[in-house]
């Protein structure tokens, strides 16, 4: 059974007492892995342009100071996105991160899969879906990865936290594409107003239109889901099938590949919890009240504990309500089968 440490706190509370993050890392024993001269990557998501719910950079200032006092070499670690937006190449991505206030953390930003997302290492895993995974090259030279994840709902996996941040967030673009390729959305003609926004957002020009309708060319579509997120009419939907749920398993295999390569620890920020993820280019209200910070060495346990706490607090199945068609525990079950961690955990309140 894995230990998950839990500090109950609100978003506002953490802004007033950001030292709680460092204290939690010390109590959980994770701070002992911050070793002198080592490259310590903080896996983060800077939030898409227009998004407001990403992890607040003010939370990270005491952690940055602490890592420097420990004489490590801390840096903010992120990868480019598969889809169009402000995070598709390292230059736009870093400018966005500065615009979102991450310069104040006083840590360098490393876009770990290079200028255009094609700098990767190949990691052999020999699992059901993948023999080889394509991970961001900078992982190879990072000594320790602290995975800082914002708990949110998610349109593909039901929710996203540590395993999503590991599996999708540490993959180079080729790896992200391999995980998405089961998904094929379709356009609902009755809702579509032919605005063309989806066509502009598609990275592979897979959406076409004639005078009466717009449609997705299946052979070209790479399943990145970008068109779904930009459509103002919710006119683009996924064809739900068993195969679709495979994305959760693929994600878990990629997460497994990362942990084979590097020692990781996890912090879940269960604050300002939105129905969709921080890739959304819009401000969204929280749909679950703030819970707090969780700390663990086990990505399966910390994600399960985060969901359990959300459900206990709201007294309902919050993820099922938000994304009713997704088997959201699928990727946790499979991650457990892969040996990534355990869904049984001991919660230690700090």
279 binds ligand SF4 (CB under 6 A): no
Identify the residue among 20, 96, 111, 202 touching ligand SF4 (CB under 6 A). Answer: 202
Token pair, residue 22, equals 């460092």
Shortest Å, Cβ 186 to ligand SF4:
9
248 burial (CB, 10 Å; 0-12 / 13-18 / 19+) is buried
Q: Which is nearer to ligand SF4, 260 or 325 (CB)?
A: 325
Identify the residue among 28, 96, 97, 227 touching ligand SF4 (CB under 6 A). Answer: 227
Shortest Å, Cβ 226 to ligand SF4:
4
Shortest Å, Cβ 247 to ligand SF4:
12
Judge whether 58 and 101 are in contact, CB under 8 Å.
Answer: yes
Identify the residue among 133, 216, 305, 343 touching ligand SF4 (CB under 6 A). Answer: 216
How many amino acids of this chain bind ligand SF4 (CB under 6 A)? 28
Q: Which is nearer to ligand SF4, 61 or 195 (CB)?
A: 195
Q: Which is nearer to ligand SF4, 177 or 343 (CB)?
A: 177
Shortest Å, Cβ 80 to ligand SF4:
15
| Alpha carbons within 13 A on the beta-carbon side of 158 | 25
| Residue 248 phi, psi dihedral angles, 5° rounding | -65, -40
| Residue 22 phi, psi dihedral angles, 5° rounding | -65, -40
| Among the residue ranges 58-66, 92-100, 222-230, 251-259, the one whose residues contact ligand SF4 (CB under 6 A) | 222-230
**3-class DSSP state for residue 23?**
helix
Question: Do strands 158-160 and 109-111 pair parallel, antiparallel, or not at all (unpaired)?
Answer: unpaired
Gap between the Cα atoms of 23 and 245, Å rounded: 38
214 binds ligand SF4 (CB under 6 A): yes
85 binds ligand SF4 (CB under 6 A): no
Shortest Å, Cβ 335 to ligand SF4:
25
Helix (H) or strand (E) holding 62: helix 61-69
∠ Cα 198 202 206 (to 5°): 100
Q: Which is nearer to ligand SF4, 163 or 214 (CB)?
A: 214
**3-class DSSP state for residue 180?**
helix
Shortest Å, Cβ 213 to ligand SF4:
9
Q: How far, CA to CA in Å, does 206 sit from each of 35, 105, 203, 220, 274? A: 48, 39, 8, 5, 29
Q: Which is nearer to ligand SF4, 126 or 234 (CB)?
A: 234
Q: Which of residues 297-336 bind ligand SF4 (CB under 6 A)?
A: none
Q: Which of residues 138-197 bind ligand SF4 (CB under 6 A)?
A: 185, 187, 192-197
Shortest Å, Cβ 235 to ligand SF4:
4
DSSP state of 55: P
Q: What is the per-residue burial (b if ≥16 Cβ within 10 Å, else e) of 39-69?
A: bbbbbbbbbbeebebbbbbebbbbbbebbee
Judge whether 279 and 322 are in contact, CB under 8 Å.
Answer: no
Q: Which of residues 228-257 bind ligand SF4 (CB under 6 A)?
A: 230-231, 233, 235-236
Kindly list the residues in this chain that would bind ligand SF4 in the complex (CB under 6 A): 185, 187, 192-198, 201-202, 204, 206-207, 214, 216, 221-227, 230-231, 233, 235-236
């Amino acid at each position: 059974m894995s230990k998950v440490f839990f500090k109950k706190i609100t978003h506002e509370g953490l802004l007033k007492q950001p030292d709680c993050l460092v204290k939690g890392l010390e109590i959980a024993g994770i701070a002992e892995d911050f070793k002198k001269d080592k490259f310590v990557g903080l896996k983060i998501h800077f939030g898409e342009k227009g998004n407001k719910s990403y992890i607040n950079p003010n939370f990270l200032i005491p952690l940055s100071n602490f890592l420097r006092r420990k004489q490590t070499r801390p840096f903010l670690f992120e990868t480019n996105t598969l889809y169009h937006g402000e995070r598709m190449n390292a230059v736009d991505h870093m400018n966005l991160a500065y615009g979102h206030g991450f310069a104040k953390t006083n840590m360098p930003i490393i876009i770990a899969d290079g200028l255009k997302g094609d700098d990767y290492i190949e990691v052999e895993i020999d699992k059901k879906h993948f023999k080889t995974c394509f991970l961001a090259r900078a992982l190879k030279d990072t000594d320790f990865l602290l995975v800082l994840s914002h708990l949110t709902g998610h349109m593909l996996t039901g929710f996203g936290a540590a395993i999503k941040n590991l599996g999708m967030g540490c993959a180079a673009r080729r790896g992200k594409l391999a995980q998405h390729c089961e998904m094929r959305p379709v356009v609902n003609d009755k809702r579509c107003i032919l605005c063309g926004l989806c066509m502009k957002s598609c990275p592979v020009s897979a959406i076409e239109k004639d005078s009466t309708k717009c449609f997705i060319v299946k052979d070209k579509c790479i399943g990145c889901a970008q068109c779904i997120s930009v459509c103002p009419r919710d006119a683009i939907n996924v064809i739900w099938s068993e195969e679709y749920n495979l994305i959760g398993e693929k994600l878990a295999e990629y997460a497994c590949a990362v942990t084979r390569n590097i020692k990781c620890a996890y912090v879940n920020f269960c604050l300002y919890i939105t129905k969709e993820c921080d890739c959304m280019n819009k401000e969204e209200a929280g749909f679950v009240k703030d819970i707090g910070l969780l700390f663990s060495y086990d990505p399966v346990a910390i994600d399960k504990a985060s969901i359990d706490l959300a459900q206990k607090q709201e007294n309902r199945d919050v993820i099922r309500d938000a994304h009713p068609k997704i088997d959201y525990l699928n990727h946790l079950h499979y991650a457990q089968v892969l040996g990534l961690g355990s869904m049984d955990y001991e919660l230690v309140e700090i």
